[in-house]
């Protein structure tokens, strides 16, 4: 059975990254996107199983949008996805009817896990929000490798740029994946951009 999901966020890159993570990790999923609540509400009346909603949007904000979404799609689960770490905002979202709160600072694998829990009806009312000050610590060399990795360069070209052997680059990449708690280069790039680890 196909799962229908709506992703509302005004950052196209974030929508693209989350869409890739969810499409790769969930079976039989169809993802619709919107850059604003107004745009989302103009879409089909067919219900979505889950709506991932950013707090900070152009026009109507996410908190005010929860009720509008519930009115249009009464059976849809609404989850706030935001970089806002204010516990009061999280509590307010839940009080207004959100089914959960997922921090944008989560790793892709953790975000995928939480979305799966929501769809299965297992997410607790309050999802713990990680400390935004706890950014992954990379060595200066790893940061250089990560910058080039995010440009899509393969290990061989990264090695040429940094005057390193391909095996050394491979070791740095593996260390980066482990530090960022991700399993692929694309996930590493996604996390790096979201957490401000690259320029």
Among 62, 86, 119, give the residue marking a domain's end: 119
State whether 57 and 113 are in the same domain: yes
What is the structure's pLDDT at 130? 47
On whether residue 129 sits in a domain, the answer given is: no
What is the structure's pLDDT at 138? 85
What is the structure's pLDDT at 128? 53
Q: How far apart are CA 46 and CA 33, in angstroms?
A: 14
State whether 104 and 37 are in the same domain: yes
CA atoms within 13 A on the CB side of 98: 26
What is the structure's pLDDT at 135? 67
Q: Residue 161's domain is classified under what CATH number?
A: 1.10.10.10
State whether 7 and 103 are in the same domain: yes
Closest CA to 4 of 36, 47, 43: 47
What is the structure's pLDDT at 32? 93
What is the structure's pLDDT at 142? 92
State whether 24 and 95 are in the same domain: yes
What is the structure's pLDDT at 137? 80
Distances (CA, A) of 44 to 65, 68, 109, 154, 179: 17, 14, 30, 42, 41
On whether residue 164 sits in a domain, the answer given is: yes
State whether 159 and 73 are in the same domain: no
Query: What range defines the domain where residue 38 resides?
Result: 3-119
Whether pTM > 0.85 for this model: the answer is no
* Number of domain units in the chain: 2
Q: Residue 59's domain is classified under what CATH number?
A: 3.40.50.2300
Which residues of the chain have a pLDDT value below 50? 125-126, 129-133
On whether residue 124 sits in a domain, the answer given is: no
State whether 151 and 93 are in the same domain: no
Q: How far apart are CA 103 and CA 132, in angstroms?
A: 9
């Amino acid at each position: 059975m196909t799962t229908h999901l709506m992703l509302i966020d005004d950052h196209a890159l974030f929508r693209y990254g989350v869409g890739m993570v969810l499409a790769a990790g969930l079976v039989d999923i169809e993802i619709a996107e919107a850059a604003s609540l107004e745009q989302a509400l103009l879409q089909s009346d067919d219900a979505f199983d889950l709506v991932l909603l950013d707090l900070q949007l152009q026009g109507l904000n996410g908190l005010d949008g929860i009720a509008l979404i519930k009115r249009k799609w009464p059976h849809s689960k609404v989850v706030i996805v935001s970089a806002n770490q204010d516990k009061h905002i999280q509590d307010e979202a839940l009080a207004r009817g959100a089914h959960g709160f997922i921090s944008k600072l989560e790793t892709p694998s953790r975000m995928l896990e939480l979305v799966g829990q929501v769809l299965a009806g297992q997410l607790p009312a309050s999802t713990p929000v990680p400390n935004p000050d706890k950014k992954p610590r990379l060595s200066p060399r790893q940061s250089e490798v990560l910058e080039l990795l995010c440009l899509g360069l393969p290990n061989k070209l990264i090695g040429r740029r940094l005057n390193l052997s391909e095996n050394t680059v491979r070791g740095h990449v593996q260390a980066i994946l482990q530090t960022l708690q991700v399993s692929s280069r694309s996930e590493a790039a996604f996390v790096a951009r979201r957490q401000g680890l690259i320029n």
